[in-house]
Amino acid sequence: MTSRRELAAELDIPYHFLAKILQDLSRKRLLVSQKGPSGGFALSVPPEDITLFHIIKAVDGIAFTTTCVLGFSECTPQCPCGVHDELVELRDAVYRMLARKNIAGMAHSTRKPGYLNRLKEQNEIS
């Protein structure tokens, strides 16, 4: 378990901003939380099973996968905006990358000290 205060300090982000994100991730069952002096947050599923898409979907939603970048309510292949075709290609590529990248793999490939060790401590990955 990792406390909000410890995580906010380690990541150097505002405590209340982090608390909102952790709450969203807990609500979507990507994290578990435990109250009390030894409480905190931990992953609810193995890190190999949590993709960037899961995280973005939990925190921001997935409107970016369906909405028109120019704001048109009717933007379809039959009635496209001026950037529809190019945007669909880019959006599909971004979705594939987000769905493919899991947090275990990112921890292994991140060259920032401490990230893989923290993930190993919290979830006993190799």
Kindly report the CATH number assigned to the domain that includes residue 20. 1.10.10.10
- Quote the pLDDT of residue 126: 35
Handedness of CA 61, 65, 66, 72 (dihedral sign): positive
Rounded percentage of the chain residues whose pLDDT exceeds 90: 44
pTM: 0.74
Amino acid at 41: F
What is the token pair recorded at 16?
């209340």
Amino acid at 20: K
What is the per-residue pLDDT across 62-71, written as a single tens digit (0 to 9) for each?
Answer: 888 888 989 9
Domain enclosing residue 36, as ranges: 1-44
State whether 39 and 3 are in the same domain: yes
H-only helix segments in the chain? 4-11, 15-27, 52-59, 84-100, 103-109, 115-123
The answer as to whether 109 is a domain residue is: no
